[in-house]
Amino acid sequence: MKLDYVHTYAATPEQVVALMRTPEFLDDVAKHAGAVAHTVDVSDEATKLGMTLKVPASLTKFVGQTMRIDQIFRFQAAGADGTVPGTVEVDVPGMPVEVNAAAQLRPEGETTRGLYSGELRVRIPLVGKKVEAQVEPFITDAFDGLERRAADWLAR
Domain extents in the chain: 2-154
* Direct distance between the N- and C-terminal alpha carbons of the chain, in angstroms, rounded to an integer: 36
Query: pLDDT tens, 61-96?
Result: 767 788 888 999 999 999 999 999 999 998 888 878
Query: pLDDT tens, 92-128?
Result: 888 788 889 999 999 999 999 999 999 988 887 777 7
Q: How many CA atoms lie within 13 A of 94 on its CB side?
A: 8
Q: Name the CATH superfamily, with its identifier, for domain 2-154.
A: START domain (3.30.530.20)
**Would you put residue 119 in left (φ > 0), alpha (ψ -120 to 50) or beta?**
beta
* Closest to 77 in 3D by CA, of 133, 17, 22, 137: 17
Q: At residue 78, what is the residue type?
A: A
Decide: pTM greater than 0.85.
Answer: yes
